[in-house]
Structure 1
Amino acid sequence: MIDDDTPVLDNHLHLDPDTNRGIDAVRDFARVGGTHLLVVNKPSWHLGVEADAGEDFRPVFERTIEIVDAATAELDGRAWPVLGVHPGLISRLVDDRGYAPAEAREIMQGGLDVAAEYVERGDALALKSGRPHYDVDEGVWDASNAVMRHAFDRAADLDCAVQLHAEASEDMTAVTDWAESAGLPAHRVVKHYAGGRLEGPIPSVMSEKDRLEVAADRGDPFLMETDYIDDPDRPGAVLGPKTVPRRVSWLLENGHDEAVRNAHVETPELVYGIDTEATLADADR
C-alpha cells in the first residue's frame, strides 16, 4: 500500500495535447497513488509537424510544456517536460521525404539545439535522443549516432540528463563511453524501455513484474516507466498510466521498500537532480 509520503514517479510517458486522454490519463495516475511524471514530447509528426529545420520543432515543445503544466495541477507532486527528437524521425526524413542522411542529421541536431534552449531556461528537465531500434543502412546508422552524440554534447554543456530511445540491450557501455568523452557522466544517460539489467546507462525499467524483480534484486540505480503513448489509434499499446503506482504497491507488498526508494527518490536525484520528496511535501502545504 502506498502511503501519502511515498513519491511515485513515472519516468517516461507521453500525453497528447490535442486528442485522446491527455489530462484524464494524469488523473488516473494520481487516483491510484502516482505523484510525479516525466512527460516526453510525442514524435513531431504525431503532432502534425513535418520538420525541415530545427525551429520547426518549437511548436511541439511548446505544446508539451503546456500539457505538463496542466498535469502538474493534477498531481500531489509535479510533472517535468523532457524534450527532444525521436530517433525514428530519421527514417521518415530519408525514406519518406527524400532527405540524405547528412541532411536529416542536421535537421535533427537543430531540433536538439532548440530543445536545449528550453532546458537552459529551466522550462524542461532533460533531453531526448537515441538511435533506431530497428535495422537501417550504414549511412542512416552513422547519422543517427552523430545525432545522439550531439545530444550528449548539449547535455554536457547544460549539465542535464539525456533519455535514450534505442535498441534492446543489456550492455550499452560503448554509448556511455561516448557520453563521458563529451563530458556527460554515465549516470546522466537513461535508457528508456529497459529491462532490469543494463550496463552503462541508468535503466528506465518497463514496469512489468519480471523486469522489476530483476532490477530490485540487483540493487543498482533504476527508474520505472510505462511509455504510455496516449495514441487514439493504439489504445492498448505499451502500459497504461495506472501501472507504475500499482507496481509500486506490489513492490512494497513484497518487501521491496529499498527498491521503491531507489527508483522514486534516490535515482531521480542522481540522474536529474530532482527531489521528489521535497516537491511532494511542498504540494502538501
Structure 2
Amino acid sequence: MEELATPVLDNHLHLDPERGRGMEAVDEFARLGGTHLMIVNQPSWKLGVDSTDPEDFRSVFETTVEIAADATERLPGRAWPIVGAHPGLISRLIEDRGCSPAEARDCMQGVLDIAADYVGDGRALGLKSGRPHYEVSDAVWDASNGVMKHAFSLGAEVDCAVQLHTEASEDLTEIADWAEERGLAPHKVVKHYAGGRLAGPTPSVMSNKDWIETAAESGDSFLMETDFIDDPDRPGAVLGPKTVPRRVRWLSEQGYDEAIHRAHVETPERVYGIDTESTLS
C-alpha cells in the first residue's frame, strides 16, 4: 500500500488495553497510514470509578496518560491524552449516588480542576467536557451547562482546547460565545462527533464519507475522528481505527489535498498548538 504523504490524526478515540484491543488497534491505525492520536479518557464508570470524590478520578487520568505513552511508542508520530469528565457522569451521580444536580455539578467541576492540573503540567494536552445528548430535566441541563462553562474557564487558564460531547447540532454559536466570555477562543472549543457543517466551535467530524466531503468542501477548519470506543461488548458501535487513514486516502483520490492539510496539519496547530509534521519520526 502506497504511503500517505501527510500526517494523519484521529482526533477522538478511546483505548482499553485491559478489556479491548488496546495497542493492537494502534498498530492497525499505523499500518494503514495513521500517525497521530488524541486519546480521550474512558468514561470513569467504565474504569470502575463510581465516586463523588473528585480525587478518586485521578486513576482515570493516570490510565489515559499511560495508554497515550504506550501508543506513542508504536506510532510514526505520537499520541496525546485528553482528560476530563464525560457529561453522562451527571446522570450517574444523580441516579446512582443520590446527588442533587448542584452536588453533581460541583463534583464534576472538581474533576475538571484535577484534569486541568494534568494539562497545566504537560501530562495531558486538552480537556473534555460537554452536556448530555439525551433528554434531561431543566435542573440537570442547567447544571451540565455550569460544568461546561467551568471547563471553558479552566481551558482559558491553562491555555488548552476543550473537546465537547453535546447533542447533535449544526449551530453551537451560543456555546462558542460562552467560551469566549470566559477567555477561551471559540476555535479552541472542539465539537466531538460533529457533522460536516458546524457554526461556532471547531468540528471534529465523524469520518463517514458524506460528512467528511462536506467539511472538505466548506473551506473551514475541521478535524477528523472515529470515536472508536474499544469495547468488546459493543463491536461496530462506531467507526474502527482504520477509518481515518482510509478516509484520508479517499479524500486524496478525490482531489481534496488542501482539505487534508487543513484537517491534519493546520487545524491541529490552530486548536492544540501542535506540529503534526515535525513530530513525525
Same fold (TM over 0.5): yes
Give the equivalent residue in structure 1 for 2:188: 188
Partner Cα distance (1:77, 1:230) in 2: 21
TM-score (norm 1): 0.97
Give the equivalent residue in structure 2 for 1:25: 25
Secondary structure of the 2:278 match is: helix
Secondary structure of the 2:94 match is: helix
How big is the shift at 1:53? 1.5
- AA paired with 1:225? E
Native 8 Å contact 2:227 2:238 kept in 1 = yes
1:46 matched to 2:43? The reply is: no
1:240 matched to 2:244? The reply is: no
Q: Deviations 1:213-241 (Å, cap 9, x if unpaired)?
A: 10011010000000000011101110000
Give the equivalent residue in structure 2 for 1:261: 261
1:155 matched to 2:147? The reply is: no
Native 8 Å contact 1:5 1:277 kept in 2 = no
Native 8 Å contact 2:13 2:40 kept in 1 = yes
Partner Cα distance (1:69, 1:83) in 2: 14
CA, structure 1 residues 2+80, in 2 after alignment: closer, same or farther (shift >3 Å)?
A: farther
Give the equivalent residue in structure 2 for 1:66: 66
Report 1:134-213 matches (<5 A): 134-213=134-213
Give the equivalent residue in structure 2 for 1:86: 86
Partner Cα distance (1:138, 1:59) in 2: 31
For structure 1, which segment, 190-199 or 17-26, has the greater mean C-alpha deviation from structure 2 after superposition?
17-26
Partner Cα distance (2:9, 2:179) in 1: 25
Native 8 Å contact 2:206 2:227 kept in 1 = yes
Give the equivalent residue in structure 1 for 2:123: 123
Native 8 Å contact 2:52 2:97 kept in 1 = no
How big is the shift at 1:51? 2.2
Partner Cα distance (2:2, 2:222) in 1: 19
Secondary structure of the 1:279 match is: coil
Native 8 Å contact 2:13 2:227 kept in 1 = yes
Structure 1 moving runs of 4+ over 6 Å: none
How big is the shift at 1:4? 5.2
- AA paired with 2:17? P
CA, structure 1 residues 2+210, in 2 after alignment: closer, same or farther (shift >3 Å)?
A: farther
Aligned length: 281
How big is the shift at 1:96? 2.2
Task: Note the aligned Cα RMSD (angstroms).
Answer: 0.9
Secondary structure of the 1:81 match is: strand
Structure 1 unmatched runs, 5+: none
1:98 matched to 2:88? The reply is: no
Secondary structure of the 1:277 match is: coil
- AA paired with 2:183? G
- AA paired with 2:105? R
Native 8 Å contact 2:4 2:249 kept in 1 = no
The share of aligned pairs that are identical, in percent, is: 69
